[in-house]
Structures are given as C-alpha cells and as structure tokens.
C-alpha cells in the first residue's frame, strides 16, 4: 500500500483468471444496471435481459470501469425475493455480457447460491450490501472462485434498516462494524487484498448520517485500510438538497456528492448516469491533483 494522494492509497485487487483491479491512481466509476421491476432510481427499465445487457455495454462505452448488476432491490422497504427468482433475473445478463464486455462484472447480491452461479457465468466481483450479515457462506463462494468482494455497511434488512439508524458517532461505528465484516471474510478464506469496503451511504442512515460519512471518508479509509467504494447516486438523503425531486431528478445533487467522495479519497464511485458522472469525477480529480501538488 503506497500513498498516491492526501487520502487515497494504491491497491492491487486480485480478480479471477489472473486479472487485477488497480486502484488509487484515479477514482474508478462503477455503472449501475438494475434488473428489477421496482428500481427506485431509473426512468428507463432494464428488467428485460436484452435491455440490461445493452445498458451495461452502453455504460462501458460511456467510460465505466466496472459494471454492477443487481436483480433484487435492497432499498428501504423493498420486498425480498428468493434465490431462484434472483438467479432467473440475473444470470441471463451476466451470461450475455461474458465475452462481450471488457470491464469487470460485479453482481449485487448477498446470497451465496446466487453469487456462486454468477461467478461461474463470468462475474469477477460480488457486491454484498449486507456485509456478510445475511449469508456468511457468501464469503466461501467468493474465496473458492478467487473473486473480489465489496462489503457494505448496513444494519438489519430493507424492512427495518431505518429504525436502526441510531449512532453516537456514525463514522466510528460504521468503521467498527465494517471491520467486523472484513474480519469475517478473512476468517472464511477471502484474501484481505480481495476486499473493498463501502460505508453504505443511505443504508440504515438518516440524511445527516450519510452526509457525515461523506464528509469524513478519509477517517473511514484510515480506520479500515481497504479501498473505499462510495454509492451516493440518487439516494433519498439528497431529496431535500435537490428540491424534493424524485430519484432520476437528483443527478445534480449526486454530482456534488460524487465530487465530495472523490475529494475524500474514494477509490470507486457507484453511479447511475455514467456519462455525466465521468465528467464530474474527472473534474474532481483535477482539483485533487492541485491539492496534492500544494502539499509539502
């Protein structure tokens, strides 16, 4: 781990089949593709596999470094689906992208059986919004496949996460709870080098908690010593700042949050509007370079 900026360190994250995800020189952009009928954040539906495949390829063409495919909504209040239904939605998309897309495929799931099947079809990263708290065997699937994993912070489930949003010090508690997730993954055979962490903006957090996490990302990075993924895109904590617009209308507010994430040292930002947020990330990186150049 070597310093490349005031808050961002360099990491080499091993992926499957000898690939490596290099993090730190710049903030990478992860494009979101939801294969769900109830996504809160999109105007164009990608529930059809062919539409989802085209959306992922378009994200790559627009400059995404990773594409993240999710087949179950995990927003507050979402209704869970079983593993069979999640596989039915997800696997045709992963299978259709394998061999066609050059960037790594991430799958957004907390279920071991779903992750195992997606990894067999060509996924390289598992994005676990539960931080191994829903299905600890997910770590076994990741370790066996030689994949990478993103461990996100949350509390409870979609049904009760908002009721669990109580913190004395949100950054200290998020860091401690994420540290427990990292330790659980390592104990089940996932190499530390293959783990990224996400503080879970908008999950089991009131708006002030989410803004607090964004403002103090460097502290989380120091506490955990792992690459940071930030996902503020179109989240409800931005509602008031965006004039109470619905999720697709929050891209300007998202741009501010993405800028804060980049300046705070995020290694990856997870976004819906890839083409627009690529410009935001690049401009924020130039600001960050100037900040670095003025340091003694």
Catalytic site residue from 26, 116, 235, 250: 235
Q: Phi first, then psi: what are they for 49, rounded to 5°? A: -55, -40
- 3-state secondary structure at position 255: helix
- Alpha helix (H) ranges present in 26-75? 49-61
Please give the C-alpha separations between residue 44 and each of 154, 190, 275, in angstroms, as whole numbers: 27, 36, 15
Here the tokens at position 160 are: 């009760």
Cα 94 to chain center, whole Å? 17
Let me know: does 271 contact 254? Beta carbons within 8 Å.
yes
Catalytic site residue from 116, 155, 216, 270: 270
The yes-or-no answer on residue 289 being catalytic is no
The C-alpha atoms of residue 197 and residue 226 are separated, in whole angstroms, by: 6
Please give the C-alpha separations between residue 109 and each of 41, 82, 143, 175, 176, in angstroms, as whole numbers: 18, 11, 15, 22, 22
Q: Which residues are catalytic?
A: 235, 270
């Amino acid at each position: 781990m070597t310093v490349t900026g005031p808050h961002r360190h360099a990491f080499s994250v091993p992926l499957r089949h000898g690939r490596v995800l290099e993090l730190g020189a710049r903030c990478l952009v992860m494009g979101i593709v939801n294969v769900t009928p109830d996504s809160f954040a999109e105007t164009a539906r990608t529930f059809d596999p062919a539409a989802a495949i085209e959306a992922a390829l378009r994200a790559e063409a627009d400059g995404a470094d990773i594409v993240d495919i999710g087949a179950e909504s995990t927003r507050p209040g979402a209704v869970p689906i079983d593993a069979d239904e999640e596989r039915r939605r997800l696997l045709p998309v992963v299978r259709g992208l394998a061999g066609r897309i050059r960037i790594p495929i991430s799958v957004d799931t907390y279920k071991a059986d779903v992750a195992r099947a997606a990894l067999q079809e060509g996924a390289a990263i598992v994005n676990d919004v539960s931080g191994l708290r829903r299905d600890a065997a997910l770590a076994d699937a990741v370790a066996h496949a030689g994949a990478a994993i993103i461990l996100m912070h949350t509390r409870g489930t979609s049904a009760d996460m908002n009721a669990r949003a109580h913190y004395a010090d949100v950054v200290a508690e998020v860091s401690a709870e994420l540290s427990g997730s990292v330790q659980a993954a390592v104990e089940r055979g996932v190499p530390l080098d293959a783990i990224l962490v996400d503080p879970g903006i908008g999950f089991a957090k009131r708006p002030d908690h989410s803004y607090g996490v964004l403002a103090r990302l460097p502290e989380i990075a120091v506490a955990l010593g792992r690459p940071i993924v930030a996902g503020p895109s179109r989240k409800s904590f931005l509602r008031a700042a965006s004039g109470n617009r619905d999720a697709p209308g929050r891209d300007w507010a998202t741009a501010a949050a993405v800028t804060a994430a980049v300046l705070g040292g995020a290694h990856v930002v997870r976004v819906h509007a890839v083409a627009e947020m690529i410009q935001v990330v690049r401009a924020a990186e130039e600001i960050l370079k100037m900040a670095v150049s003025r340091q003694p």
